[in-house]
Amino acid sequence: MNAELAYLLGASGDATFYFRKKKNEYSIEYEQKSSEWLEKSIIPRIFSVYSKKPKLTKKKSGLFRVRFYSKDAYYLFKDFRSNPEKIISFDETCRVFFVRGFFDAEGSAPIDRHRIVFYQKDLRVLKLISKILKSKGFKPGKISNSRDIGLLPLYGRENVIKFIEIVKPEHPVKSISLRDRYFY
């Protein structure tokens, strides 16, 4: 496992996997409001790990999409989604990159409070992220459920600052908002 792949696996918390039997196509799609995040964080990593240069497209909904085709990636990502506990076997750097990718895709940093929140239907993933954060000295809150979506909060100014310094979010909107609030 390398850090670039760990980031893609984390960010795939919000990805869709497709197998089109008639065409024998295996694909992974990342969709986001931010084309910049896809261009600067996802596409270069796909190229680095899989030597593929996917295109960025804009959907009618206004969201941006990156889709790449790889049978190996499809099965690896599907297996990881079925067995997220494999993250614990990653080295420390890869675990941090996984959390970074996951936050960039599925996290938020509400402006009105000193907190970060991770969202995911699969509570196993949130429990693993909580465990990783604890191993790095964070004090995450309790996982709760709202409308069938799990929430893992990280409260407090010190926790948020430490998160920025250790995890180093890359998502342009989230990272700029966090740095502007805590470092300027």
Mean pLDDT, contiguous 10-residue spans, the chain (184 residues): 95 91 93 93 96 93 94 95 93 96 92 86 95 94 90 91 92 83 67
75 and 88 both lie in a single domain: no
pLDDT value at position 184?
56
Reported as type and span, the H/E element at residue 146 is strand 144-146
- Same domain assignment for residues 75 and 22: yes
Tell whether 33 and 97 lie within a shared domain. no
Domains identified in the chain, total number = 2
CATH of the domain at 96: 3.10.28.10
The domain containing residue 45 runs over which residues?
Answer: 3-82
CA 99 – CA 167 distance, rounded (Å) = 7
Note the pLDDT of residue 177. Answer: 79
Q: Are 105 and 58 within one domain?
A: no
Q: Which residue bears the tokens 């909580």?
A: 130
What is the spatial distance between Cα 68 and Cα 54, in angstroms, rounded to a whole number?
5
Indicate if 96 and 160 belong to the same structural domain: yes
Last residue of a domain, one of 82, 97, 112: 82
pLDDT of residue 114: 86
Which residues, in sequence order, are CB contacts of 24 under 8 Å at separation 6+? none
Q: pTM for the whole thing?
A: 0.92
